[in-house]
Every structure is written in C-alpha cells, then in structure tokens.
Amino acid sequence: MLQGRQPNNKVVVDGSKVKLTGFITKKHSKAAAMMTGSFATLTSRITTVRKRNRLSHNFHNLDLGRRREMAEILLFHHSLGLTKGINDFADKIRGAGHTVHVPDLFDGHLFTTIEDGMAYVNEIGFEEITERGIRVASEFPREIIYAGFSLGVVAAQKLAQTREGARGALLFYSCVPTSMFGSTWPAELPVQIHGMDADPYFVDEGDIEAARELVATADHAELFLYPGNQHFFADSSLPSYDANATTLLLQRVLKFLQHLDN
C-alpha cells in the first residue's frame, strides 16, 4: 500500500495551469543524494552479477517463476444499473492483468435516465442498495481495492473507509463527506477521485467539496477534474461518453494500480 512513498496530495485540472502537487522532505532529498553518489558502485555490482548470470543458467531461472502481484478490484455500478459500458470499462482494466469484480446491485434492472434509476433506488431503499454492496464485499478478501461510479461510490467509499484491510479506492463522478460514515479517511489509504469540472451533480451537490476535503486530509490522494459537464462520461454505452477524458482517466487508474502493486 504505497509503503515508503512520500505524501502525494494532488489536484489536477486538465486544460488549465492549476496543479497542486505533494512535497519532498529533507530526508527524501538526502536519500536521493546518497543513491546518486553510489550509482557507480551499484553499476559495477550489476555488471558483476550479469557476468555471473551468464555462467549459471539455473541461477538466472530462479526468478522466472515469480509474478508481480496484480490488483483485485470490487467495482460498483451507477444509478443506471450494470451497463455494457461499465463492463467494457472493467474489461480494459482486466486487460492490464488485474482482477475486477462487478456485482449487479439492481438485479438486472437497467435505466436510461438518472431520474428513473434513482426512482428505483428510492423504491428499494438507498440504504438497502448500499448494504447490498457491503454484503457482496464480505464474499471477497479484505485486501482489495474498492471502486464505484456515482451511486456506487457510497458503498465503495464506506468499505474503503471502514473495512479493515482495504488497499485503495477509486471514486468516479462522486464523493461523500467522510463524516457520513462516522470516521475520518485512513491517512495512509491511497485514493483517486475523478469528475468533470462542470458536472452539476459533482460540482453543485457538494461532491467536489467533499473530494477536496478528503484529498487535503489523506497522505496519498488525488483529485482529477476533466473539462466538461457530463456525469457518466466514462460509460461507453451512453450518449454522455467522452472518449478523450476516459482514455486519460484509464491511464491514471492503471498507473494508480501499478503503484499499489509495487
């Protein structure tokens, strides 16, 4: 879980010059200098090891069976249901070697508008939909990454914030105040939050403020704002889909997962 990395709080607004990055402590600067100073010695040692490896094929093969641990993600859908676009998004992450579980919290129901989807949520009960996500999570290991789109953020954020063992969180289109779950965000828990800078659901309903507050209090948190006013901009099966923003979002998500694997 990003152990040993420096705090990395960042707000990035694409298409503008606004960028708040983390900081490097004196300890890290000193470590970097020491690494640079010993580079020649390290290079010499690497050369020696390479020569020895040529003499011993069996020694070289000792590491061939090792595989880098890939991420396991539990991804919750938005208020339109488990759409083809969400499955396509999950497939892109799977294509990088990660495992993605995408449960259907709507029992197969699909909707074409947020209003219709939320009407169904209100009929079933908002808390019940969230609890369905919590129950699904109990079937998986605690050492998992929680992710959610819009409505699904509530279950994902609650699990990441309150279920011990979480490796990270990916929150798309939404963010709720951490106080909603009766605790603060675990300082060392990595999180990314993605939304459009003119999305009325994200900007006008308090989500962006909650996201900025979370980023300010966590050691490894990033908030990415994309130009546009669409809510479901990363769902390729919907008219709101933004291919350019989604490509950038996926690049950032995969980089996030890669860092967790290291």
Q: What is the pLDDT of residues 20-30, one digit of tens each?
A: 333 333 334 33
Residue 226 structure tokens: 């994309």
% of the chain surpassing 70 pLDDT = 74
C-alpha span between 212 and 177 (Å, rounded): 10
Identity of residue 189 = L
| Residue 167 placed within a domain | yes
Whether residue 131 is found in the same domain as residue 56: no
Residue among 10, 75, 5 at smallest CA distance from 224: 10
Residue 31 has pLDDT above 60, yes or no: no
pTM: 0.78
Specify the residue for token string 């308090």. 206
Whether residue 214 is found in the same domain as residue 99: yes
Range 167-174 average pLDDT: 98
Q: What is the CATH number of the domain that holds 229?
A: 3.40.50.1820
Residue among 138, 133, 165 at smallest CA distance from 150: 133
Query: Domain tally for the chain?
Result: 2
Whether residue 145 is found in the same domain as residue 202: yes
CA distance readout (Å), 21 to 72, 125, 215: 27, 40, 11
| Residue 221 placed within a domain | yes
Whether residue 196 is found in the same domain as residue 242: yes
Sign of CA dihedral 31, 34, 40, 45: negative
Q: What is the pLDDT of residue 12?
A: 72
Residue among 74, 68, 69 at smallest CA distance from 144: 74
| Residue 2 placed within a domain | no
pLDDT band at 9; cut points 50, 70, 90: low
Q: Are 115 and 126 in contact (CB under 8 A)?
A: no
Residues spanned by the domain of 149: 10-16+71-261
Please list the residues that pair with 100 across neighbouring strands. Answer: 73
Whether residue 56 is found in the same domain as residue 102: no
Phi and psi torsions of 221, nearest 5°: -135, 140
